[in-house]
Structure 1
């Protein structure tokens, strides 16, 4: 009985681990605050570009935003990139309709996270 419970637990863990590594079009993600000053794996514009466009030079306007995966790009080297758009349809920083992100590395770094 103990072995059956442990086996079911292990299979459930494997199912959830594999579900996170493969994004699908339409998945909802949340943009978190980066651990450094800039986002490393989500390709937002640099802060000096935002300042030149007359915007406030910080990323606080995207913290906690819900985004939708619009396209999944699987490369030959095994990396997976996703194209993200805001769920409410507004533009990032007033001029970007979508941004590209390295899915696996940005999840590991905590820059984006699946919604619960």
Structure 2
């Protein structure tokens, strides 16, 4: 029982160190890849809601984003220490025809796997 808890604590500690280490290597201009969301929607990347996309006349298909390369346009560190990133598409086109950039919580999106470097 004690060794199981020790191994679990070690794994959690190294995974948090890995997530922190990846944000230090990511800077402005870094190319990242979008992967599939955890549920139906992306939780740590602030894409507009489906009804807003549909009201503007675009198709709200989040599956078409999987595998898309995006560029970190700007990084902002919050007061709580979290890193927010402004992301844009590598090909220069807007997301869903109307949104040129989106915002993401970089640490959490990398930890969950919504973004890959």
Q: Does 1:83 align with 2:86?
A: yes
Which 4+ stretches in 1 moved above 3 angstroms? 16-19
Residue 102 of structure 2 corresponds to which residue in structure 1?
Answer: 99
Give the CA deviation at 1:19.
4.2
Q: SS of the counterpart of 1:20? A: helix
The structure with the greater share of residues assigned to helix is 2
| Count of matched residue positions in the alignment of Structure 1 and Structure 2 | 100
Q: SS of the counterpart of 1:54? A: coil
Give the CA deviation at 1:51.
1.6
Give the CA deviation at 1:49.
1.1
Which digits, 9 at most, give the CA deviation of each residue in 1:57-82, with x for residues without a partner? 32122111100111010112110000
Q: SS of the counterpart of 2:39? A: coil
Question: Separation in 1 of the partners of 2:93 and 2:21?
Answer: 28
Residue 33 of structure 2 corresponds to which residue in structure 1?
Answer: 30
- Is the contact made by 2:69 and 2:90 (CA closer than 8 Å) also made in structure 1? yes
Which segments of 5 or more consecutive residues in structure 2 lack a partner in the other structure? 1-13
- Is the contact made by 2:59 and 2:96 (CA closer than 8 Å) also made in structure 1? no
Provide the alpha-carbon RMSD of the alignment. 1.8
TM-score for the superposition, normalised by structure 2: 0.78
TM-score for the superposition, normalised by structure 1: 0.79
Q: Does 1:56 align with 2:81?
A: no
Which segments of 5 or more consecutive residues in structure 1 lack a partner in the other structure? 1-12
